[in-house]
Amino acid sequence: MKVYISADIEGITGVTHWDETEHGKEGYEVARAQMTAEVAAACEGALQAGATEVWVRDAHGSARNIIAVGLPRQVRLVRGWSGHPFLMLQELDTSFQALVLIGYHSRMGSGANPLSHTMSGRITWIKLNGVEVSEFSLCAYTAALVRVPLVFVSGDKGLCEEAVSLNAHITTVAVKEGVGDSTINLHPDLAVEQIRSQVARAVANAQKCLLPLPDHFTAEVRFHRPERAYRSGFFPGARQTDPTTVQFDHADFFEVLRFLLFAV
Ligand SMILES: [Zn+2]
C-alpha cells in the first residue's frame, strides 16, 4: 500500500504569525521542527496501518521546510516546485491508496486562522460551483481525479469543519482554533500523538473516503487588484466577469487546475 502525505505550515500546531512561516524569520525554526514532527507522526501512523511506501510532499512556500532526517527511513520526500498543475500534490497518481494532509489551513476570508489564505496573496476568494473553497478542497478534487481517497486532515478547527462538510467520512485532528489574530493550541506533543493514532485509523479505513467528482466545474477567482483579473481573463476559455473576477468553465478538473496554475 502506498500512502501520500502533503504538508503545509499555516495549520501546524502553534503557528500564528507570518514570520513563523518564512525562512530566516523569528520562530521559523520552531515551526519547521513541529511541522517535521507532525509529518513524521503521520508517516508512522501510515506505516502502522500497513503502508509499504510513503511519499511526503513539502508544500509550503519554498517547499523546503521539512527536516528530512526527522522522517522514517521508508519515506520519499518531494521538495521544491516542478511546475506541474497538481502543485501541493505533485506526483500523486492512481498508484496511491490514501492521501493525508497535515498542517492545512482555512481559506482566505474565513476568520478561522490568522494565516488564512488561498493559493497566493493575490486572491480574495476562489469559488468552485458557487462555493468558496480552500486549498484543502482543491486537493480533495485533485485526489478524486486520480481516484485516491482523501482520508485525513489536520489543521485549524475551521478547516476541519469544511473538510467534514465536503466528505463526512474524513478523519480530522484540529490542532488549533483561530480567534481574531490569535490561536488557541493543543500541546505540540499531544497534537503529534493524536495525528499518529488517527492517521493509522484513517488509512486502515481508506476506501469509504473516495470523493465523487462533479460532472462540471465553474471556477471563479476574485483578485484583490483588477489588473490581475484583466491579465487572467486572456487564459484560453476564461472570461473576466467584473473588474476583479475571472470565470472558467470545464467538465475536466485537470483543466481547472491548469487554469489556476497560469491565471493565479
Ligand atoms: Zn503554506
Question: Is residue 120 one of the residues assigned to a domain?
Answer: no
Positions in the chain short of pLDDT 70: none
Centre of ligand 1 to C-alpha 107, Å, is 11
Question: 206-245 pLDDT, tens per residue?
Answer: 988 999 999 999 999 999 999 999 999 999 999 999 999 9
On whether the CB atoms of residues 123 and 223 are closer than 8 A, the answer is: yes
pLDDT at 207: 86
Alpha-carbon span 10 to 85, nearest angstrom: 21
What is the pTM for the complete model shown? 0.96
* Same-domain status, 22 and 61: yes
* Same-domain status, 101 and 9: yes
Centre of ligand 1 to C-alpha 86, Å, is 15
Distances (CA, A) of 169 to 31, 36, 160, 206: 29, 26, 12, 9
Centre of ligand 1 to C-alpha 251, Å, is 28
pLDDT at 127: 96
CATH number of domain containing 64:
3.40.50.10780
DSSP the chain: -EEEEEE-STTSTT--SGGGGSTTSTTHHHHHHHHHHHHHHHHHHHHHTT-SEEEEEE-STTS--S-GGGS-TTEEEE-S----TTGGGTT--TT-SEEEEEEE-PPTT-SSSTT--BSBTTEEEEEETTEE--HHHHHHHHHHHTT--EEEEEEEHHHHHHHHHH-TT-EEEEEEEEETTEEEE--HHHHHHHHHHHHHHHHHTGGGGPPPPPS-EEEEEEESSHHHHHHHTTSTTEEEEETTEEEEEES-HHHHHHHHHHH-
Question: Is residue 124 one of the residues assigned to a domain?
Answer: no
Q: Which residue range(s) make up the domain with 230?
A: 217-263
Dihedral, CA of residue 114, residue 98, residue 145 and residue 232, to nearest 10 = 30
Beta strand 98-104 pairing with 123-128 = unpaired
Q: Could you give the number of structural domains in the chain?
A: 2
Domain edge (last residue) among 175, 192, 209: 209
Question: 79-88 pLDDT, tens per residue?
Answer: 999 999 999 9
pLDDT at 240: 97
Question: Is residue 48 one of the residues assigned to a domain?
Answer: yes
Centre of ligand 1 to C-alpha 7, Å, is 8
Centre of ligand 1 to C-alpha 204, Å, is 28
* Same-domain status, 172 and 243: no
Centre of ligand 1 to C-alpha 60, Å, is 4
Centre of ligand 1 to C-alpha 5, Å, is 15
pLDDT at 67: 98
Centre of ligand 1 to C-alpha 143, Å, is 19
Question: Is residue 19 one of the residues assigned to a domain?
Answer: yes
* Same-domain status, 42 and 144: yes
Question: Is residue 148 one of the residues assigned to a domain?
Answer: yes
* Same-domain status, 39 and 158: yes
* Same-domain status, 42 and 154: yes
